[in-house]
Structure 1
Amino acid sequence: MMSRRCADTLRDVAFVGAALLDVRVNVSLDDPLRMGAALAAACLLLLRRRWPLFVFLFTLPAVLFSDAVVACLAALYTLATFTRRRTLLAACVMAFTLSDMVSWPRLDLWNTAAVITLGYTAATAAAVVFLGQLVQARRDLSLRLAEISLARDHERRLTAQAALAQERAELAREMHDVVSHQVSLIAVRAGALQVGTGDAEAKDAAATIRRLSVQTLDELRHMVNVLRDSQGRPTELTPQPSLADLRRLVDASGIDTELATDLPGGLPSALQRAVYRTVQEALTNVRKHAPGATATVRASYQGDAVRVTVSNTAPTRPALPLPSSHYGLVGLRQRAALLGGTVTSGPTADGGYELLLELPVEEEL
């Protein structure tokens, strides 16, 4: 915006300067009437964009009384860049031509030289008008191209949103028809096992499986509703976990786990979620890859950082071959990196495994 304003100011200065030079060359100081008309016309160019027709009309006396024509031609050019009335422009060309041809106070147009000069003057004024119309057309074309570009961007966004909506609908259908169905079967079979078995340990395991299956079904139903929301309205996600949910997570993990934490409750919500998801993923890995192992979760706040350690002993029986995407630790590292922290992991000397999460905390906490 500022650059355009500066360019317009420089253009005004250039036009006024050219008009004053024209006055200096073609008007004598001995004729105050002509000098006044020419200087007034040059100064009026400062108003040419605000009132182009007014400025053109009031620069005509300079052409009528003197040979200073630059100010009037500049005003005619400006008028041509703003108006779309071709009849008005033709009348202005004729007015400039006749004013320039008048030999004040005596008019003499009835000779060959006058006719040639008339044609030359009319051609000059017409060329200025054509140039102004060309600038106007170029400006209109630029605006039209900008509108087309915006329309194409909008169309691309709509296409992308339509494709995304279709993918979300397909994903929701698959989750509902396949995943939810299979989890429901797991919950039903776990309930039957819980009722039918007399073994206390097996009954407790079946109850845990059934509870987790029901919880998973609730979360799946909510995710399906989120994916099926095609109206663009914001949809409330399931409540995000916090540090207060760590104990329940550990108790429901099915692993003999010791939890020791002194983290304050005023930590940022993003940091609390990172701690929870890290412990959740670590315990899931223990359950999958180290059956029979015990785990220890220690979380502490050390002045300017949160330090969470999840370790487990060596497994007591072989791990079952379960499917894995191998993205769990990668996702934890990415989440920690977004918060300015790190995640490191590796085997321990006793055959177990340890995962360490370190996250910085703002000083005002």
Structure 2
Amino acid sequence: MSAINPSAWTLEAMRERLVRYADLQACRTAFIDTRTPGSTEKENFTIIGPGVSESPDQHVHIREKHGFNIGGARQPFGCVNSQHSHDTAEVFVVHTGHWRLHFGPNKEDGSLDIGPGDVASVPIHMFRGFSKLDQGKGFLWMPLGQDDPGKVTWAPAVFKAAEDHGLKLAKGGKLIDTTSGNYELKEVELETPPSEAALEQLKTPSLEQLERCVVRAEQMVANPQSPLAGEGVEEAGVIVPQETPDHFPAGPIAGWWPHDFNLRRLTLQTGAYVPLHARKEVEVLFVQSGTVEVGWKNGDGEESLLMGAGDTLSMPVGVQHSFRNTSSAPAVLFVVRGTEQPQMPVFASAPIEELAGASA
């Protein structure tokens, strides 16, 4: 993702990079299990990047490459997302609701429960699924690794259940509806369930290992060395694969697989302010709770917009921007920063040559 002249970022241009929760466009036919009983009510969202959807009907909100993807899932009580494996990082940020992560091709390898504000990063090359535990709908905000996260590998039982309801999967991840009459299976190479040898390569780590891949909201500890830390402002590392130039130690989720990004939690008390600063990597903001005013430098002036709970904003590289909590309650944001080695931010008070370097 390349930097663009900061004067190009008008309010209208920045609104194109803002996806409000109320404006999310769901796909109800994203995957092969879309007709499987227990899974029919799930909604899939592709917020940034192509995602892993198998349906041409999937709406992509922001197509620009970021080095990672952002997706989402919304499900009612009891709804199940079937067992599958990913080739790149899959992270669950729980916005609302209580959820159970199921492990193993047939859910035989245990489970972990997560709730609002918790974060789980499930290792690559293992089967996982998830279900909604409590009443009402809940929403998961889901960063995925790399610009192209590939397609998921489904557990054998998922193929059988889908076939019983008229759905097959072509090589490359395209759904085929055998009930529509508009297909020729003899002209299509079908995806097949993973072989026994493949299943051996997708074994579940121990529950003890998997528990180290979950951070509860109350376990997220502010880093006093964060360059954003100040009066009423705290930044906690959540997924930090390795020690970073902006003074974050590895952990609490480091992982033994690549993530391609950092995940932080930023908390602003009432009236707290993070002054104008630029970054050398793209960052994506997600408001977990509260409201925050995001300001940015546009030529010789400044613009701003207000974000509320569930909103997502992609902040361009090199644009000087600020955060302010103008409400009477704390604002909590999750922030994805591109690369596993985010650099120090450059504040507007820095020498002009540093500012130029931040936007290069």
Q: Same fold (TM over 0.5)?
A: no
Q: Which has the higher helix share?
A: 1
Higher Cα Rg: structure 1 or 2?
A: 1
Q: Which has the higher strand share?
A: 2
TM-score normalized with structure 2 length: 0.21
